[in-house]
Amino acid sequence: MIRIFRFSEVAPEDVFARVSPTAQVDGAVSDIIADVRTRGDRALFDLTERFDRVKLDSLRVTEEEISEAKASVEPEFLAVLARAARNIRKFHERQVRNSFILNDEDGIVIGQKVIPLDRAGLYVPGGTAAYPSTVLMDAIPAKIAGVREIVMVTPPGRDGKVNPAILAAACEAGVDRIFKVGGAQAVAALAYGTESIPRVDKIVGPGNAYVAEAKRQVFGQVAIDMIAGPSEILVLADGKSNPRILAADLLSQAEHDKNASAVLVTDSMELAEAVRDELERQIPLLERAGIARASVDGNGKIIVAETLTEAIEVSNRIAPEHLELMVDNPFDYLDKIRHAGSVFMGRSCPEALGDYFAGPNHTLPTGGTARFSSPLSVDDFVKKTQYTYYTEEALSKVADDVAFFARKEGLTGHAKSALSRREEKK
């Protein structure tokens, strides 16, 4: 049963049970990466047979397989995919950055070019955690950014096939190539390349502890989006909120993972007790009741604060992945929220809306990293190059300043470089 605490009884750092997603797997992951680097495709075939218990003839998903998958998915789901993709595109198109140029001083031109990555790698979990929504959320921003090629990896099922819903989402999002490989070995293949799988510039997408640790180990060889931990939700609710709805929202994250954290902060003890009772009623009704039970009993909390303003102060210290504001006038509080991955405003905005449909990205910073990092966006798939042009006359005017600065740092070679062109004219 979920525990209820008074505000003063829980330190902010203890509100979420934050667990290292990569604990105790670093050695095994290092061995897998080394194997893939050494043996390439052969290692991928062997590791897929070992971990996924399927013997493959080919790693790449064919066009025929994609067509069969789309045909096997109900038309209603394809229609929902299209509507969700439309919303995601609409939101992320507003994130596009433009190159700029400044030439407001005679003889000087400076600027910045925004350049899309050549190739992005998308990791998509399979099995019981097959999330076609992740395909849309990760691939569509890359496409909008102008990435030349998106390569997706996802583990096959026992039948050697990829979940049809994932393939349908990949088709909707414009993924270019898809490979049947998962786990740390898939991350290694994307980072270093094999005979079949091309090396990418950045790897995005969630996964288990092995995937997270593999991303950590290959960082530097490639870029990564983040190392995601267990899911988190913090719901701030006033005493007028509906306990049945609050319980349902908390369970929407608790069912992800036994290490997930679902926390309610309210200014009403009466509401706290009603939500506790609702959780006990609703948990047995879930298909993933065992996971939700472990999450709620192990990591769930209800915290009763004096005021919601006090609760928001603690929320900013926690920096939750998902934050729901279950109040009448949520925009009155928005400016007070400084650290949260994604904020869901008001009584008609469940976090699940953001997972699938609304448009803002659902790949979010966890583990308190919302203090300094952001949701996945178009920015994650571009890089910037800056450039500088000075005419001879423009350089001559500032060469003494550059040289003075260089000497201040003890770098006389820099100073001579700045002055040398002027000296050549003498």
User: What one-letter code names the amino acid at 250?
Assistant: L
Structural contact between residues 101 and 111, judged by C-beta atoms closer than 8 angstroms: yes
Spatial neighbors of 114 by CB under 8 A, at least 6 apart, are 97, 98, 99, 382, 383, 384
Spatial neighbors of 235 by CB under 8 A, at least 6 apart, are 246, 249, 250, 262, 263, 264, 265, 323, 324, 326
Structure tokens at 59: 């790693």
Catalytic residue among 65, 213, 321, 351: 321
Beta bridge partners of 389: 109
Structural contact between residues 174 and 167, judged by C-beta atoms closer than 8 angstroms: no
The CA distance from 227 to 215, in Å, is: 7
Helix crossing, 26-39 with 41-51: angle to 10°?
Answer: 140
Can 270 be counted among the known catalytic residues?
Answer: no
Which strands, in side-by-side order, build the sheet including 301-304?
Answer: 3-6, 301-304, 261-266, 232-237, 322-326, 342-345
Tokens 């994650």 map to which residue?
380
| DSSP label of 322 | E
Can 213 be counted among the known catalytic residues?
Answer: no
- Listed residue (356, 370, 227, 232) closest to 295, CA to CA: 232
| DSSP label of 13 | G
Structural contact between residues 78 and 126, judged by C-beta atoms closer than 8 angstroms: no
Catalytic residue among 278, 322, 324, 362: 322
Q: What is the CA radius of gyration of the chain?
A: 26
Residues with catalytic annotation?
321-322
